[in-house]
Structure 1
């Protein structure tokens, strides 16, 4: 529960409240008046008619100047104070960097639980609400495995696939729920306990919607763009042709994210949406390890954005910078046509934080659990370090085991 709001947060909440969650009006007013604070100044509220925003927003701005209008807003603030653990505005340093590149990013997030979870590497798992027992099991298994490897699993708290994904990731205390309502309610109501578990076990529940926002149909496509935007990639575990999870996949495609689809029986209506995605270019996966392989570069980019040890700037080493909007890698690939570098030269080029891991690796291969135990590292950190070594050409993965390899000049 929040003890108080900063004046800056109140300005953001007020403008978001007056424009009724309209992204276009929020940013238009901010740009016209020069700042969010200026847009909600009493003398400027009557000038909203000069800006091309909806007449309803102009009317709400006028009504806010009345005593009843201000009292209604105070009630919203009380609700937020009661239900929020944190509020992140767009210029807050803890606002998720993953969302910043997009024109339709939300200017404010309301949340419960661990705000730092939003800054971690995330994978979305989505699918049908009316999932088959097989689909629920697959979603649970993928979430369990990927969260064990250090990823947070992000989904929409809906019935079916979303629920199974959250439950699988709860085993490792790494899941995030994005809601299509305000924090004062849970939709569906049957997931109230699941929501509490997410908050209590190190995860987060977030929304861009203010209290008293009902679960309207149009809110869920908006919610879906946040699910995909926060994530490095989206896994569609099971979906019929009319599943709302295909909207999430569409959002992911527009954002330049990787889309994974899990196939099923060709006669099963539960899987027709996944099969359609595969025909359209989604990556077919039947094991979560395949997701990790394809996400190696995006994951490396995200860890770099969190300032977890930059790669060596030595020009002989590959750089691993990734465009956050396009997902295109600028990684330099070692030339395999030339001879290997001497071991002593390789070691001098390895960043200090990777040396212990490089020396622990051998030419046969070790599991990530064994490496974590030997080096006393958390799985999330170890995964990041292994990916750095892979990008530098100093390690590789075969059959689930990590081994040392010698790069070329």
Structure 2
């Protein structure tokens, strides 16, 4: 919670409130006025017209000094103070330097948690809101591994891949959420607990949107440009052809960021977006260490200390030693899932024997059942 706002912060908020998050209009106004406080005076309507500001924004300036509009603005300011731990304008020394090169950078960021974290090296993990079990697991594994190496995992607090990425990075207190609404609400609402966990584990939640901003469809591509701009690279963990995460990849490409795509089953619609990205030049990765290598960054994992620890950590694709009869069945399972009758045919076993073996694999954490399908699980998860 902020006890007070500086006069400069209020000037930014006033203009941002009047132009309703229009980046183009904000920067036209900012460039014209030496002192932003002058921009919202009642006699500036003609100047706004000459600047080519949208007529709706000009009308809001006309109405701004009416009692009703002033009450609305004061309510907005009160919510900002209540919900924000920090406010960063783009000329503030703590504003993330990663965003500065871009002409569409957010003029103002409202945040909860520690603002300094935004300056830390970040990798974005994005993907489908309705992923497969395999996709969730991969997003979690990559986030867990990369956060262990010192990277902050940046994502959009959405369902599915975003959620799994935040959860994986939470294990090392290294995650940042970028929201598509104001700080006064959480979208989706069921992620309120996840949002609180991020804050409780030394994370940060940010948005460019004012309080009262609803989760409208057009806000999420805007959020995605911040996710990619903050990050050294973007990993698309799983995505269908029309997935919103491809928009993040598009932003990343325009920003000159590295784009990584994790491949999947060639017949799975869940992975078609990733395969399309790979065809278009994204870097294919099947282990998080490849992301670090491709970014060519000096990180914790390269130190002598970590080398000693690494020998104690099983790689992600290490399989435990299993009896021959269980190994055969485990190798038959895949990430997409198979019906019991398919497995009976393939294994040439009776149903009782097969179900007994599947139960053994489940107890070992190597198999799971979902909607009548048996799926392989990652060893150790």
Q: Which whole-Å CA distance do the structure 1 matches of 2:308 and 2:38 have between them? A: 56
Question: Where in structure 2 are the equivalents of 1:218-297 lying within 5 Å?
Answer: 218-297=218-297
Residues 24-33 or 276-285, more deviating: 24-33
**How far off its partner does 1:369 sit?**
5.8
Question: Where in structure 2 are the equivalents of 1:204-223 lying within 5 Å?
Answer: 204-223=204-223
**How far off its partner does 1:43 sit?**
3.5
**How far off its partner does 1:39 sit?**
1.7
Matched, 1:368 2:306: yes
Deviations 1:157-177 (A, max 9, x none): 000000000000000000000
Please, what is the CA RMSD of the aligned residues? 1.8
Question: Where in structure 2 are the equivalents of 1:126-141 lying within 5 Å?
Answer: 126-141=126-141
Deviations 1:50-95 (A, max 9, x none): 3201110001011112122111110000011111111000111000
Q: Which whole-Å CA distance do the structure 2 matches of 1:294 and 1:145 have between them? A: 15
Q: Which whole-Å CA distance do the structure 2 matches of 1:206 and 1:276 have between them? A: 30
Work out whether residues 46 and 61 of structure 1, in 8 Å CA contact, stay in contact via their aligned partners in 2: no
Question: Corresponding residue for 2:178?
Answer: 178
**How far off its partner does 1:29 sit?**
1.1
Q: Give every structure 1 segment of 4 or more consecutive aligned residues whose post-TM-superposition deviation is greater than 6 Å.
A: none
Question: Corresponding residue for 1:164?
Answer: 164
Q: Which runs of 5+ in 2 are unaligned?
A: 311-381
Question: Corresponding residue for 2:60?
Answer: 60
Work out whether residues 46 and 62 of structure 1, in 8 Å CA contact, stay in contact via their aligned partners in 2: no
Q: Which whole-Å CA distance do the structure 2 matches of 1:48 and 1:21 have between them? A: 16
Question: Where in structure 2 are the equivalents of 1:10-159 lying within 5 Å?
Answer: 10-45=10-45, 47-159=47-159
Work out whether residues 113 and 199 of structure 2, in 8 Å CA contact, stay in contact via their aligned partners in 1: yes
**How far off its partner does 1:366 sit?**
4.3
SS in 2 for 1:263: coil
**How far off its partner does 1:47 sit?**
3.6
Work out whether residues 19 and 25 of structure 2, in 8 Å CA contact, stay in contact via their aligned partners in 1: yes
Question: Where in structure 2 are the equivalents of 1:182-197 lying within 5 Å?
Answer: 182-197=182-197
**How far off its partner does 1:371 sit?**
8.0
SS in 2 for 1:87: strand
Question: Corresponding residue for 2:326?
Answer: none
Rg: which structure is higher? 2
Q: Which runs of 5+ in 1 are unaligned?
A: 301-356, 373-409
Q: Which whole-Å CA distance do the structure 1 matches of 2:35 and 2:27 have between them? A: 9
Work out whether residues 113 and 204 of structure 2, in 8 Å CA contact, stay in contact via their aligned partners in 1: yes
Deviations 1:152-207 (A, max 9, x none): 00000000000000000000000000000000110000000000010111110100
Q: TM-score, normalised by structure 2?
A: 0.78
Distance 1:89 1:367, change over 3 A: same
**How far off its partner does 1:367 sit?**
5.3
